[in-house]
Amino acid sequence: MDFDPPSNFSPELMMRDAAAYRPLFYDPNTTFYNGHDDQHPRRFNEEVTNDWYDFLDGKLTREQIAAFMLEGKKVAAIANSSSPKVKAFERFVRLAHQVDNYACTPINPWSYYNNPQSDTPQKTSEELVEEAIRDYRAETNAFLKNRYAFQALKALFYAGNRDAFERFFGEVEPNMPRNTLYYRALGYRAGFYIEVKDFCNANLLYAEVFNHVPAMRPVAATSLTLQDEKQWEQCLRAASPEQKTALWALLAFRTGDNDRAIRSIYQIRPKDPLLSLLVIRFINENEDRRWSLIGPPTEDADPKANRMKEIPRETFDLIRRIASEEKTENPFLWYAAAGYITSWSGDYDGANSLYDKAAGQMKAGNKEAADQLRLLRLVNALSRITEVKGDNIERLTEELRWLYKQNSYPEYGKGGMRYKTAIEQSATYLSTLYAKAGRPELAEMLDHSSEKIAQPGVVDKLIAVLENPRTPMEKLIVDMYPYTAEEFYFYKALQALHADQLIEAEALMKKAGKQGMTELYTNPFNDYILDPLDAHTRKHIKEAKVKYTPITLIQKMREGEAKIARGEEVYNNSLLVGNAFYNMSFYGTSDIWRVPLLNASIFELVPCYAQEMVMTSPAAKKYYRMALKAATTDEQRAKVVFLSIKCDRNDCYLGPIRGRALCDNQRSMNQSNSPNWLDRDGFGELMRYANTQYYRDVIRECGYFQLYVAKHKR
């Protein structure tokens, strides 16, 4: 997606055991990196299925276990089994389903508007609580006893009986293995502490959960309750070192105070992986604030924006100090992070020095780390360039070739290297530099836009470099550019056609390669009352029996113009040549202009440099007026008058945007399909031929003319 924040720093690749912390990576759009935490009903499905599969010694498949336990389906293999373990599983699941009826009450999100009390969860019945406790006490198998203990605690929690929960928890805790079920039970206990506003003990329990159950880290992160500094200090005094680091990480996640959290965790446990998490979050968050990650530091007009991009000196020094001391569990990450922020400050040599130290900490054969460092070095090298000077950009050709070969799309969703920002921003930045250096053709090829192509002389310069790239960098840019010299020859040929320069157009079209030899579907010399703008108006357009290519079309038009010049059948030849010119336009039938460089599905998207050429038909009108002078009947006159009216209409449509720089698909609010042009002379001229069949055909087909006639009959 295009909503990914700008980033060159890949958390999944920079952090060891990244999957365990992935939901807590930075995301500017949602609370968690993988979206909102909506895993509550299924968070542990895979784990509990695997636990029961191991307990049952393969007597049931994982699919059978999940179907019965998680989906409530009937499973014949369970109903027909005589295995004691399978029967024990069946009995346990039936109890667990009863508890879940209270724990997993479905909530209708619209119920508040109908009946605020209608979806209030019911409390677990005393009978069910007592049954769960009895089953726990009666069970002798350690695996089953552990699970009955959890079900009893779960039932007590949803019964809302805090005192009974604490008594039973005190009974079972000494014998409970410190597994996921234990820490899930701690989560219930923390919930009771919050209920009585004992936030400190609740936070300590959530810190335990955070440290030991990766799947519950989002729960712990959103459940941490912060009041004031006094309460916070009280929690820290009561916490173990392991709990303290978790609390600091949770605080940073909730408040964004990365500096304080990093500083505190580093003092407690320098090798704690949470330090890696926090420095990665810090880097990614600041990337998002800067937005432009390639190029020298820039000043925005908005002071607030500048402040947001600034890294506090204390944090800058802290990250560099931690990197230099090499006490963390991932020195490579810290040197890379220190180098990156040093590059942001404009100290590119200092950044390179830190990247060298990062390389020294990189494990041999770690290609992902090597690629990450390579990317950061390239970003640093590009950022130090402020102008095209000598071969300063040429020296980066091979590194840029490597970058542009990378896939920029699957990175965020699948945890790959983040190449996209560097690919896009490097091209844009180099385009800016080349534009300043007087190389508009290279600027266009790196960052395509209609404005650049519209500049005088750029098309010829594009053709020159596309046909003969002189340097390795130019060859790389040519390889990346989506258009060819032949396509620009085709464009120039259409320009010459529009100007009725047929000899030049033919010469250019012969250089246009396959585009100049592609057969046209329709006969471009035919005329129609209706333009083929939709399925309804296209249905009357027939496939040509004699096919033309752009080259043979021009040649045939030259023959027609020569006959006109000699005075041969001037009406017919003028009409045919006029039709050929008209059908080359957006409104015509030949679609000759529908090539990748020019194509647009709707009027507003025709590139600005081609609007006049594609949207108007002055040459067609010229030949229609010639035909009018040579006409000998009213039927002939009616036809060419109407066809010239269509040229006026098209010109009127373009009028509001002619001369405007409407490039890159930007739409002007001034554009209008207003039929004000009806009041011009064209239709009045056509009404002189009301005695003709062609006039009646136009009345039947043309809504605009119907409006005009109705208006002038009043």
Helices 458-467, 485-498: inter-axial angle, 10-degree rounding: 150
Q: What is the rounded distance in angstroms from the CA atom of residue 623 to the CA atom of residue 637?
A: 13
The predicted model gives 433-437 an average pLDDT of: 97
Q: pLDDT tens-digit profile of 371-391?
A: 999 999 999 999 999 999 999
Q: Is 623 exposed, middle or buried (0-12, 13-18, 19+ CB in 10 A)?
A: buried
Range of the domain at 531: 512-712
* Domain count of the fold of the chain: 1
Residue type, 363: K
Q: Residue 304 is inside which H or E element, if any?
A: helix 303-309
| Tokens, residue 223 | 């459940």
626 lies in some domain: yes
Residue 676 CA, chain-centre distance (Å), reads 42
Q: pLDDT tens-digit profile of 308-344?
A: 568 899 999 999 999 999 999 999 999 999 999 999 9
Q: What is the rounded distance in angstroms from the CA atom of residue 495 to the CA atom of residue 504?
A: 10
Q: pLDDT tens-digit profile of 5-37?
A: 899 999 999 998 888 999 999 988 888 886 666
pLDDT of 537 strictly over 80: no
540 lies in some domain: yes
Q: Which region among 107-111, 162-166, 213-217, 670-674 has the lowest average model confidence (pLDDT)? A: 670-674
370 lies in some domain: no
571 lies in some domain: yes
Positive or negative CA dihedral for 390, 394, 399, 404? positive
Per-residue model confidence (pLDDT) at position 708: 72
Per-residue model confidence (pLDDT) at position 258: 93
Query: Residue 345 region, left (φ>0) first, then alpha (ψ -120 to 50), else beta?
Result: alpha
Helices 313-325, 273-290: inter-axial angle, 10-degree rounding: 140
The predicted model gives 420-430 an average pLDDT of: 96
Per-residue confidence band for 677, with pLDDT thresholds at 50, 70 and 90: low
Per-residue model confidence (pLDDT) at position 127: 94
- Which residues, at least 6 apart from 359, have a Cβ–Cβ distance to it below 8 Å? 373
Residue 183 φ/ψ, nearest 5 degrees? -75, -25
CA distances (Å), origin 571, targets 328, 621, 633: 89, 13, 11
Q: What is the rounded distance in angstroms from the CA atom of residue 51 to the CA atom of residue 180?
A: 11
Cβ atoms < 10 Å from Cβ of 49:
17
Q: What is the rounded distance in angstroms from the CA atom of residue 425 to the CA atom of residue 704?
A: 49
Beta strands in 306-386 (DSSP E): none
Q: What is the rounded distance in angstroms from the CA atom of residue 195 to the CA atom of residue 125?
A: 20
Short-list 388, 376, 398, 462, CA closest to 429: 388
Per-residue model confidence (pLDDT) at position 667: 46
Percent above pLDDT 70 for the chain: 88
Residue 195 φ/ψ, nearest 5 degrees? -60, -35
Per-residue confidence band for 411, with pLDDT thresholds at 50, 70 and 90: low
The predicted model gives 607-615 an average pLDDT of: 86
581 lies in some domain: yes
Q: What is the rounded distance in angstroms from the CA atom of residue 562 to the CA atom of residue 567?
A: 9
Per-residue model confidence (pLDDT) at position 668: 46
154 lies in some domain: no
Q: What is the rounded distance in angstroms from the CA atom of residue 50 to the CA atom of residue 244?
A: 32
Per-residue confidence band for 1, with pLDDT thresholds at 50, 70 and 90: very low
347 lies in some domain: no
Q: What is the rounded distance in angstroms from the CA atom of residue 5 to the CA atom of residue 162?
A: 45
Q: pLDDT tens-digit profile of 193-217?
A: 999 999 999 999 999 999 999 999 9
38 lies in some domain: no
Per-residue model confidence (pLDDT) at position 302: 61
- Which residues, at least 6 apart from 491, have a Cβ–Cβ distance to it below 8 Å? 459, 597, 598, 610
Positive or negative CA dihedral for 436, 440, 444, 450? positive
pLDDT of 121 strictly over 70: no
Per-residue confidence band for 672, with pLDDT thresholds at 50, 70 and 90: very low
pLDDT of 106 strictly over 70: no
| Tokens, residue 25 | 């990576």
Q: Work out the mean pLDDT of the chain and round it to a whole number.
A: 89
